[in-house]
Amino acid sequence: MPKQPKPVVVVTRKLPDSIETRMMELFDARLNLADEPMSKAQLTEAVKIADVLVPTVTDEIDKGIMTQAGPNLRLIANFGTGVDHIDLHTARQRGITVTNTPGVLTEDTADMTMALILAVPRRLAEGLNLLKTGQWKGWGPTSMLGHRIWGKRLGIIGMGRIGTAVARRAKGFGLSIHYHNRRRAHPEIEAELDATYWESLDQMLARMDIVSINCPHTPGTYHLLSARRLKLLQPQAYIVNTSRGEVIDENALTRMLERSELAGAGLDVFEHEPAVNPKLQQLENVVLLPHMGSATIEGRIDMGEKVIINIKTFADGHNPPDRVIEAML
């Protein structure tokens, strides 16, 4: 029997060397060695030739691109958990399977979330800036006073894998765990974390000291924290977001931070990234990070291995393990 040709796999960004090497061994891999985000024209050409497309969060795979896909494109193996940049409805209509890489980034993102929960109330970025600019004059009893987090109420929006991992960390720091989710967590999880479920997001927001956003970006969560909901927060409250920037009305958040209607924010994601609101950058009561919540070597390799398993399983004629289900549409 003739040898089955290797599937053409187009990878849109540079991945860890070990992952790229393995892909080249297994597939007819077309790599992006320059590691520059592909333009719309380049993505359109990619879907015309690919059997499998491996995009990342920086690639907008919309209906316009999807309708240009060649007949061989049958799998989009996303390098990442979130799939809000992929038109899932059009993919389903065209018979294109979409997979992602769930689970492998949970602990890394939860670590970064906890880091921001600590950094913002304790003014770590301000302290670092004080040292770097040579303005520190030595210790003083009223110098650089922040707020303790022990005993404060943490409200988690999205109690999935990451939200639960954040709650476990936060409980160890003495925070009281509260959460809002589409579905109530299992009673064992609630008991383990001593967590309080709030069916009403509005009611939870009005009573929290710190709010952590850990839900995915979907049409239903776009501006979930709208200007109206942000105004429900107490002036001494902090917001931390390691999910997606689109979940918060960033302009409304910025205005409230400027007016001291909120105590501060820790943001790893932005509504129009890589663009960041210049007014946010000028504020002292925010910690801004360049979307690095999941940026560990171990996590990126684990993601790549999941992508390879999904492609290989699909190429062998089986359902890939991380197929994005219709419930996410």
Pick the catalytic residue from 13, 180, 217, 244. Answer: 244
Alpha helices in 133-266 (DSSP H): 161-172, 187-193, 201-205, 227-230, 250-258
Distances (CA, A) of 57 to 13, 45, 148, 170, 263: 10, 18, 35, 28, 30
244 is annotated as an active-site residue: yes
Rg value, the chain, Cα: 22
Contact status, residue 293 vs residue 108, Cβ threshold 8 Å:
yes
Q: Looking at the chain, list the stretches that DSSP marks H as alpha helix, in order from N- to C-terminal side.
A: 17-26, 40-49, 63-66, 88-93, 106-119, 124-132, 161-172, 187-193, 201-205, 227-230, 250-258, 278-281, 297-315
Structure tokens at 40: 């719309």
**Whether 45 is catalytic:** no
By residue count, the chain amounts to 329
Active site residue 273: yes
Q: What region does 64 belong to: left with phi over 0, alpha with psi -120 to 50, or beta?
A: alpha
Catalytic residue among 92, 291, 305, 323: 291
Q: Give Cα 164 to chain centroid, integer Å.
A: 15
Tokens of 325: 């289900």
Residues 211-246 as b/e (b if ≥16 CB within 10 A, e otherwise) read bbbbbbbbeebebbbeeebbebbeeebbbbbbbbbb
Q: What angle do CA 12, 13, 15 make, to 5 degrees?
A: 125
Catalytic residue among 45, 126, 273, 305: 273
Beta bridge partners of 61: 86
N-term to C-term CA, the chain: 41
What positions carry a catalytic annotation? 244, 273, 291
